[in-house]
Amino acid sequence: MKTLTMIEMAGCPYCANAHRAMDALRAEGGSYADVTVDFIDENREPEKTQLFAGQYYYVPSIFMDGEKLYEAQPGHSYDKIYAEVKHAFDAVREKTHNS
């Protein structure tokens, strides 16, 4: 199965909502439980963000195979973040089944 990469920062409320959304999706079971996410803390591991330089400004930003699937924007609600995280999880499932 493909792996998502999420760039985040400690203390970011939008990142916390993305984690909450991921937990909720995994709790649903099925193939959502199998989606793997590599987390990169922008402040603690800046060297790991170089691959994504110029592709995002806000966190969380979620990528698959170097393609940005979601970038949070100021004011995004939990419901919006949940919908975007679900879209990213669905993209992983679709890519996996079509590979």
CA distances from 26 to 29, 34, 35, 48, 89 (A): 5, 8, 8, 26, 10
16: in domain: yes
50: in domain: no
Do residues 56 and 68 lie in contact, with contact meaning Cβ atoms separated by under 8 Å?
yes
SS3 73: coil
Global pTM value: 0.94
pLDDT tens readout for residues 85-95: 999 999 998 88
pLDDT tens readout for residues 28-87: 988 899 999 999 999 999 999 999 999 999 999 999 999 999 999 999 999 999 999 999
pLDDT at 36: 94
47: in domain: no
65: in domain: yes
pLDDT at 99: 59
Q: How confident is the model at residue 97 (pLDDT cuts 50, 70, 90)?
A: low
Tally the domains of the chain.
1
Residue 76 has what DSSP assignment? -
Q: What is the CATH number of the domain that holds 80?
A: 3.40.30.10
66: in domain: yes
Phi, psi of 13 (to 5 degrees): -65, -30
Structural domain harbouring 15: 3-42+56-97
